Amino acid sequence: MSLCARDLSLRLRRRLILNRVAMTAPPGALTAIIGPNASGKTTLLRALTGEIAPDHGQVALNGRDLAALSPGMLAAKRAVLPQHSVISFPFTASEIVRIGLTASAHPEARRNVLIRSALAAVDLPDFAGRLYQEMSGGEQQRVQLARALAQVWRPTGDDGPNWLLLDEPVSSLDIAHQLTVMRLARDYASRGGGVVAVMHDLNLTAMFADHVVLMRNGQVQGEGAPAEVLTDALLSKAYGCNLAVSRTPAEGIWLLPQMASV
């Protein structure tokens, strides 16, 4: 039971974006997809969600071909936080979160509890009646995360793990809320669910990820535990500058931007 990409290749507007990509995100773990800009991270995530179909290869969700699953079946097993969400109508925060429950069989009373719980989980307990357009970018991002979380609230089901697929989930957030979101994702994984997140912050990746996939030019440059992938050699090659990985006495991994040289 995992989320796997098998020999994926994909072109967009004739440009090769993914080139024979293979990776496996295990359940019960937070998998971070990292790499420089235009390395194929978001495209890979979109392929893993089923939003776009590869030209070659296969995505398997819990052992089943993603292409064979109906939209309803996908909605029940995985929720997606895109990098950008545009809402044109004056919905409230609770109405946005409720969108994630449209495919659920929960009774109305239970839905209201889930909406409140999801907003509280992203540190927005008093925002249920606030209009989405009146929120800051970071608040909107957290509302969208609450919507995804409500969609797959239980990390596991009778047919295996559920999945959160997150594209740059902390990009618009202050430090405190970055930690809130990463702890939420880590907790979801620790309870048996699967989390795949596109990340730019390598220190947060080192702190929270169980599994790392390093991308460059549409290919996987390294995959494994953070200590195996976040190395001087692999990161310097992928990012095109000399990077030094520093280790704390407690054996944590930290990336020091001031040590980088082009």
Q: Determine the pLDDT at residue 256.
A: 64
Distance CA 238, CA 65 (A): 30
**Distances from the Cα of 240 to the Cα of 35, 37, 41, 175, 231, angstroms:** 11, 11, 17, 27, 14
Q: Longest Cα pair distance anywhere in the chain, in angstroms?
A: 57
Instruction: Tokens 């608040």: give the residue.
Output: 139
Nearest CA among 222, 219, 226 for reference residue 201: 226
Distance CA 79, CA 197 (A): 12
pLDDT digits (tens, 9 = 90+) for 87-138: 888 999 999 999 998 656 677 778 899 999 999 999 999 999 999 999 999 9
Does residue 253 surpass a pLDDT of 80? Answer: no
Q: Determine the pLDDT at residue 246.
A: 81
Distance CA 125, CA 188 (A): 19
pLDDT digits (tens, 9 = 90+) for 164-196: 999 999 998 999 999 999 999 999 999 999 999
Say which range, 46-50, 156-160, 232-236, has the weakest mean pLDDT.
156-160
Does residue 257 surpass a pLDDT of 70? Answer: no
First to last CA, the chain: 41
> CA angle 202-59-81, nearest 5°?
50
Give 124's contacts (C-beta < 8 A, 6+ positions apart): 93, 139, 142, 143, 146
Dihedral angle, C-alpha 171, 174, 180, 186, nearest 10 °: 30
State the CATH architecture for 3-225.
3-Layer(aba) Sandwich (3.40)
Contact status, residue 146 vs residue 169, Cβ threshold 8 Å: no
Confidence of residue 28 (pLDDT cuts 50, 70, 90): very high
Q: Determine the pLDDT at residue 258.
A: 56
Q: Determine the pLDDT at residue 84.
A: 85
**Hey, which residues does 198 pair with through a beta bridge?**
33, 167
Confidence of residue 35 (pLDDT cuts 50, 70, 90): very high
Contact status, residue 224 vs residue 210, Cβ threshold 8 Å: no
- Every domain of the chain and the residues it spans: 3-225
Contact status, residue 198 vs residue 167, Cβ threshold 8 Å: yes
What is the pTM for the complete model shown? Answer: 0.91
Q: Determine the pLDDT at residue 250.
A: 64
